Amino acid sequence: MHSPDDDWSTRHSVLTNARRAAALVNVLTPDPPRPDAVAEVLTAYGERAPVELSPDDVAAMRAAAVLLREVFAADHVDRAAEALNRLLLEHTGPLRLTSHGGGTPWHPHLDSDDDAPWSEWFLASSCMALTVLLWEGQRPPGALCASPRCSDVFVTRGGGPARRYCSRRCATRERVAAHRRSGVGTREVSDGRAGR
């Protein structure tokens, strides 16, 4: 019982769009970003390969990523809402519905046109997904990885204690580092060298 529309809905769920936003922000954070890495994320999230991005496309997408980072950096739902409201006011169009000429189920867009530039689409689709997640969860829709060695953002989701790290890899590395630090601290104290 699998219609193409079901597949489309899964691939284009709000959560998937928010995760795509985070993945794009992360791959666009290095200056300059690698265009092939950006194209890889886009194809991984269902854009038809090959994705052709000009240097101007990538530069404009990076500017959008810098703006979106403010939403991920907000550590309180009110701050995240303020950041999103700024972007919705200054950088996205009015809400509209599109079926891409009948090729997809009807769904909302905040960009000006189905053929809008990549950067406009990226900012608008990310604002849309993060806005809905904030609405549903009444909490910041994303966060910055707490590891000092990582600058990635991630999507927060679900109940329970808030996640602090972008990935299991970062969480493990920081746990090991903290363990090592505490071991060193204990030794220094017992040696009487770190009594301050």
- Among the listed ranges 83-91, 115-123, 169-177, 179-187, the one in contact with Zn ion (CB under 5 A) is 169-177
- Among the listed ranges 27-35, 76-84, 90-98, 165-173, the one in contact with Zn ion (CB under 5 A) is 165-173
Q: Which residues contact 71 (CB under 8 A, 6 or more apart)?
A: 80, 83, 84, 87, 127, 130, 140, 141, 142
Q: Counting contacts by CB under 5 A, is residue 26 touching Zn ion?
A: no
Report cis status (omega within 30 of 0) of the bond before 32.
yes
Q: How far, in Å, CA of 122 to CA of 22, rounded?
A: 11
174: how many CB neighbours lie within 10 A of its CB? 18
- Among the listed ranges 45-53, 108-116, 166-174, 181-189, the one in contact with Zn ion (CB under 5 A) is 166-174
Q: Binding to Zn ion (CB under 5 A): which residues in 102-161? A: 145, 147, 150, 152
- Among the listed ranges 52-60, 102-110, 168-176, 184-192, the one in contact with Zn ion (CB under 5 A) is 168-176
| Strands 96-98 and 107-109, bridge-based pairing | antiparallel
Q: Is the dihedral of CA 11, 45, 127, 110 positive or negative?
A: negative
Query: Closest CB to Zn ion among 125 and 147?
Result: 147
Query: Closest CB to Zn ion among 17 and 26?
Result: 26
Tell the smallest beta-carbon distance from residue 47 to Zn ion (Å).
25
Q: Counting contacts by CB under 5 A, is residue 166 touching Zn ion?
A: yes
Q: Are 61 and 24 in contact (CB under 8 A)?
A: yes
Q: How far, in Å, CA of 51 to CA of 173, rounded?
A: 34
Query: Closest CB to Zn ion among 53 and 68?
Result: 68
At residue 64's C-alpha, the angle toward residues 58 and 65, to 5°, is 85
Tell the smallest beta-carbon distance from residue 146 to Zn ion (Å).
8
Total of residues contacting Zn ion (CB under 5 A):
6
Query: Closest CB to Zn ion among 60 and 74?
Result: 74
Q: Counting contacts by CB under 5 A, is residue 170 touching Zn ion?
A: yes
Q: How far, in Å, CA of 193 to CA of 144, rounded?
A: 36
Provide the binding-site residues for Zn ion, judged by CB under 5 A: 145, 147, 150, 152, 166, 170
